[in-house]
Chains A and B, each alone.
Chain A
Amino acid sequence: MIEKKLVFTWRLMILAFILPLLLILAIDISISSGIQGFDSEMAFTRFANATLTAYTLCSLVLLGNLFFYGESRNRPLAPLVGMFCATILGIVATIFFIDQGPMLLEDNGSVRAQAIYNIVHMLVSAGAVLVALGVSLGVTFSAITSQKQRSDFLFEEE
């Protein structure tokens, strides 16, 4: 029997990923004619802080990665210096934008307090993302292994 099958496209995958969020938005909008509890200013502040922090922390991790990339090539300095500059740029941009005033300062009184809060906040968010990834992968794997063993070969009946 030929089974009808969905075709893999990235559009479909992205839609599948954002579907729960779209559904919540749709339900919220239809029930209360608007997104309740959404403060665009606070959301922008959070987005900007998260972007700057994620960029800086991720660059730091990649800088460490570059160190090992150069291991087999007599450790060239050029890419290390390039990535180091990119990381410093992230740190300087974070400090500069937080220092501009209340735009990126949340409930914290100083640039240092906000920067530290951003890092801890990012660690908690990243932790939640990692746990979610573990749970989703674990459930996918257990769903696959829970089914009856399947044969990879089809034997023709003679």
Chain B
Amino acid sequence: MNIRPFDIGMDEMYQALLLFWIPVAVVPLGIWVFLSFANHKEKNIGKFLAFVGFTMVCLSPWTVPSSPSSAAGHLLGAIVGPIVLILIGLYLISFSGNVPVGRLPKSDRKLGVFMNLAGFIWLVGMHWWILTPQLSKGDVNPYWYVFWPTLLLFIASLSSFSAIALLTIGVDRKKEANSIFMLSGLSFLLLFLGLNVDGPLITAELFREHLWLSVADLAGLLVGSLLSILVFAIVIFVYERNLPPPQTISPPTKDELEKVADIVSNHLGGEQE
């Protein structure tokens, strides 16, 4: 991809803040507005915000070329095609099967399989063909080295987990578990090939180095998230424990009990109505 920046005559830091970081923050904000509000108008505002943020992040290699962070926007623009193809393909395959509601026509299944294959081949072509995301000719996007091994490793692990979960929790789900094991095996095979077969721009040695770094990344992600959840639980626990016990109320008086008995007796035996 040939990136030609356009100059807007602004300080580089403000440029990055305005054209990369604020749009990055706007995407989850838009999604949150879309999911949280019931009003149609507010939902549309949420969708609009998320779309504008997403587009601006994808355009950041052109709008803020001086910021190294814009490489992430470049990667997003490069992978959005195959990822959307795969996810829509999966949606079509799932909902053209045996679902009680919202069933799609059977023909959508073929289209789903085709989209899945196309997305998958596109992603594989980014490693072993000419489709690798490049900031300039021969300069591979550094975040591609983070994304690709993490994706393959996590798909292999999660699929293996789902297949075993299906076998242990489900009843007579061997066939389904085998299909999921196939996905795990395929991801594993790609990892193995990546470790041993060079691509035109990515060598097996480089992939190997980044695979171990992505394992470290995933472990850090897990430990950090668990730590923050633990702190969150401690904060809630301490707050709840320090709350004063709820005030006890005096037992009902004789008059109140009689009144309640009257109301109950008036609502018994519906045959009178």
| A136 CA to B177 CA, complexed, in Å | 12
Closest-CB distance, A125 to chain B (whole angstroms):
5
- Which of chain B's residues have a CB closer than 8 A to the CB of A134? 87, 90
CA distance A127 to B76 in the complex (A): 9
Q: Number of contact residues on A: which range applies?
A: 35 or more
Q: Which residues of B contact A100 (CB under 8 A)?
A: none
Q: By the criterion CB–CB under 8 Å, are A125 and B179 in contact?
A: no
Q: Chain B: which residue is nearest A89 at the CB level? A: B231
Determine the distance from Cα of A65 to Cα of B155 in the docked complex, in whole angstroms.
Answer: 29
Note all chain A residues with C-beta closer than 8 A to B154. 128-129, 132-133
Q: Is the Cβ of A55 less than 8 Å from the Cβ of B225?
A: yes
Closest chain B CB from A154 CB (angstroms): 12
Question: Are B98 and A147 in contact (CB-based, < 8 A)?
Answer: yes
**How many residues of B are in contact with the other chain, CB < 8 A?**
84
Partner of A125, one of B146, B235, B239, B242: B146
Roughly how many angstroms separate A133 CA and B90 CA in the complex, as a whole number? 13
Main secondary structure of the interface of A (DSSP, over half): helix
Of residues 100 to 151 in B, which have CB atoms within 8 Å of A's CB atoms?
112, 143, 146-148, 150-151
Chain A contacts of B151 at CB under 8 A? Answer: 128, 131-132
Given A12-B164, A20-B153, A58-B224 contact (CB < 8 Å): yes
Which of A21, A42, A69, A139 contacts B179 (CB under 8 A)?
A139
Q: Is the CB of B235 within 8 A of A83?
A: yes
Say yes or no for B219: interface residue by CB 8 A criterion.
yes
Q: Does A62 contact B (CB under 8 A)?
A: yes
Interface residue? A146 (CB, 8 A): yes
Q: Please name all residues of chain B whose beta carbon is closer than 8 Å to the beta carbon of A16 when the two chains form the complex.
A: 160-161, 163-165
Task: List A contacts of B216 (CB < 8 A).
Answer: 43-44, 46-47, 50
Check A20 against B239 for contact (C-beta < 8 Å): no
A43-76 interface code vs B (CB 8 A; 1 in, 0 out):
1101111111111101100100110010000001
Q: Are A24 and B176 in contact (CB under 8 A)?
A: no
Cα distance, A86 to B94, chains bound together (Å): 42
B223 touches A125 (CB 8 A): no
Q: Does B43 contact A (CB under 8 A)?
A: no
In this complex, which of B97, B143, B232 has the most chain A Cβ atoms within 10 angstroms of its Cβ? B232
Closest chain B residue to A85, Cβ basis: B235
How long is the Cα–Cα vector from A82 to B158 in the complex, in angstroms? 34
Instruction: State whether B90 touches A124 (Cβ < 8 A).
Output: no
Given contacts A24-B195, A59-B228, contact A51 B72 (CB under 8 A): no
Q: Are A116 and B69 in contact (CB under 8 A)?
A: yes
B59 at the interface (CB under 8 A from A): no
A-B contact pairs, 27 of them (CB 8 A): A7-B168, A16-B164, A21-B153, A28-B195, A38-B212, A43-B212, A47-B217, A50-B219, A54-B224, A55-B227, A56-B224, A56-B228, A86-B232, A124-B72, A124-B75, A125-B217, A125-B218, A127-B147, A129-B154, A132-B151, A132-B158, A136-B161, A138-B87, A138-B90, A140-B162, A143-B175, A147-B175
Knowing that A12-B168, A145-B95 are A-B contacts, what are 6 other residue pairs whose CB atoms are under 8 Å apart, sorted by A's residue number? A17-B160, A21-B153, A36-B208, A53-B224, A128-B150, A140-B159
Could you tell me which B residues sit within 8 Å of A by CB distance? 24, 68-69, 71-72, 75-76, 83, 86-87, 90-91, 93-95, 97-99, 112, 143, 146-148, 150-151, 153-169, 172-173, 175-177, 179-180, 183-184, 187-188, 191-192, 195, 205, 208-209, 211-225, 227-229, 231-232, 235-236, 238-239, 242
Q: Which residues of A contact B (CB under 8 A)?
A: 3, 5-8, 12-13, 16-21, 23-24, 27-28, 35-39, 42-44, 46-56, 58-59, 62, 65-66, 69, 76, 78-79, 82-83, 86, 90, 113, 116-117, 120-129, 131-149
In the complex, the 7 A-B pairs of residues with the closest C-beta atoms, listed nearest first: A50-B220, A54-B224, A145-B97, A138-B90, A132-B154, A37-B208, A20-B156
